[in-house]
Amino acid sequence: MINKRFLPGAVVISLLYLTGCGQTNSNSASVSPTVTSSPVASAQPDTVTPVSQTSPTTSPDKAGKQLAPGKYCYAAKTKTLDATAEINIGAANNISGTVQATIQNPAASYYSSYNQTLIGELAADKAKLNIVTQIEEDTQNTQETWTITESKLNTGRETFTKANCTTATAEKETTGARKPVRVNFASGANSTTIKQSVIRGERDTYLLGAKQGQQMNLKITSLENNAVFDVIAPDGKTIKQEATTWSGKLPANGDYQIVVGGTRGNATYELTVEIK
């Protein structure tokens, strides 16, 4: 989350290129993700249950060797990027997966994030993928070819190394966010106002159980005029990013996450939550 007035456009583009969000490889079918509005350090879902399954065991990497069906996890960490990738290979060599990452440059007070969903096919160690990238409030669709082996995942921009799936999930749950707080209404009430503060680079996550078809109304104000929130559905998909007000019909039963952070510096905020 950042106020663009505090980060020159050239710095944003440079960071996105460093972290693999600002360009595609030679197989890309569309333009690179671009920033169209103030970015948000969208938190990754904090209610995911850690997966006990670990990466399948295969023989050491060989050029062109195809991985066996199963789940494989990878991680990448640099000065500006902290990312995890989960790749699922089916029996018919079909691939699905996700990438979740945070981008940061403390010197420039820059904090943002991006999420990717992957669908494609695997041939030898090459994965031909259709990728949907959500970065800030921008969504991009690309076609890319990644190289996947047991020990590494190479996107053409970043190289991820093998990670234990249980560990990767646990790190994804805790990075940049405090322990989630469940929202409860007083008896007979359908709304509440939360008064709290969050420091730069951290996020507060609130859980609210609701039913499909109900309407959620949210509003946030802050002394510093710099607090915003994301809304994440029970299936992990982001419904709204970097908002100060939002109303919408809920698509499913379950716990919704309201993730609060500051666009610059610390934020002292009041968050009003209502369910109808």
pLDDT (tens digit per residue) in 145-164: 999 999 999 999 899 999 98
- When pLDDT is cut at 50, 70 and 90, the band that residue 265 belongs to is confident
What local confidence, expressed as pLDDT, does residue 64 receive?
A: 72
Q: Which residues pair with 196 in a beta bridge?
A: 269
From the list 236, 55, 26, the residue with the least C-alpha distance to 148 is: 55
**Among the listed residues 269, 140, 155, the one whose alpha carbon sits nearest the alpha carbon of residue 203:** 269
Q: Decide which of 58 and 90 is more confident.
A: 90
Report which of 3, 40, 7 is spatially closest to residue 108, judged by C-alpha positions. 7
- Percent of the chain clearing pLDDT 90 (strictly above): 44
For the ranges 31-45, 107-121, 134-148, the lowest mean pLDDT is seen at: 31-45
Asked whether 229 and 260 are in contact (CB, 8 A), the reply is yes
pLDDT band, residue 199 (cuts 50/70/90)? confident
User: What's the pLDDT score for residue 169?
Assistant: 52
Identify which of 76-80, 96-100, 218-222, 261-265 has the greatest average pLDDT.
218-222
pTM check: above 0.85: no
Radius of gyration of the chain (CA): 19
Across the chain, mean pLDDT equals 76
Report pLDDT digits (tens) over 8-57: 333 334 444 444 444 444 443 333 343 333 333 333 344 433 333 444 44
What does the pLDDT look like over 228-259, one tens digit per residue? 999 999 988 889 988 999 999 999 999 999 99
pLDDT of residue 48: 37
Which residues lie below 8 Å from residue 237, measured CB to CB, with a gap of 6+? none
Collapse the DSSP code of 17 into the 3-class scheme (helix H, G, I; strand E, B; otherwise coil) and give the result. Answer: helix
Which pLDDT band holds residue 165 (cuts at 50, 70, 90)? confident
Check residue 194 and give its pLDDT.
94
Contacts of 242 (CB under 8 A, 6+ apart): 1, 37, 38, 39, 40, 136, 137, 228, 229, 230, 263
- With bands split at pLDDT 50, 70 and 90, how would you rate the model's confidence at 61? low
203 pLDDT above the threshold of 90: no
Residues 6+ apart with CB under 8 A from 62: none
